[in-house]
A and B are shown apart, each in its own frame.
Chain A
Amino acid sequence: GQNIDQPTEMTATEGAIVQINCTYQTSGFNGLFWYQQHAGEAPTFLSYNVLDGLEEKGRFSSFLSRSKGYSYLLLKELQMKDSASYLCAVCDSNYQLIWGAGTKLIIKP
Chain B
Amino acid sequence: DAMVIQNPRYQVTQFGKPVTLSCSQTLNHNVMYWYQQKSSQAPKLLFHYYDKDFNNEADTPDNFQSRRPNTSFCFLDIRSPGLGDAAMYLCATSLTPGQGTDTQYFGPGTRLTVL
Contacts and interface: CB of A to CB of B under 8 A. Distances in A.
A101 B42 CA distance: 4
Given A31-B101, A91-B100, A95-B100, A42 B40 contact: no
Question: From DSSP, what is the main secondary structure of chain B's interface residues?
Answer: loop
B100 A30 contact: yes
Interface string B89-115: 010000001111101111111010000
Interface residues of B, number: 21
B86 interface: no
Contacts of B101: 31, 48, 50
B41 interface: yes
Given A31-B101, A95-B100, A42 B109 contact: yes
Contacts of B107: 42
Nearest to A9: B40
Contact of A43 (B44, B98, B99, B106): B106
Interface of A: 4, 8, 30-31, 33, 40-45, 48, 50, 85, 87, 91, 95-97, 99-102, 104
Interface of B: 40-45, 88, 90, 97-101, 103-109, 111
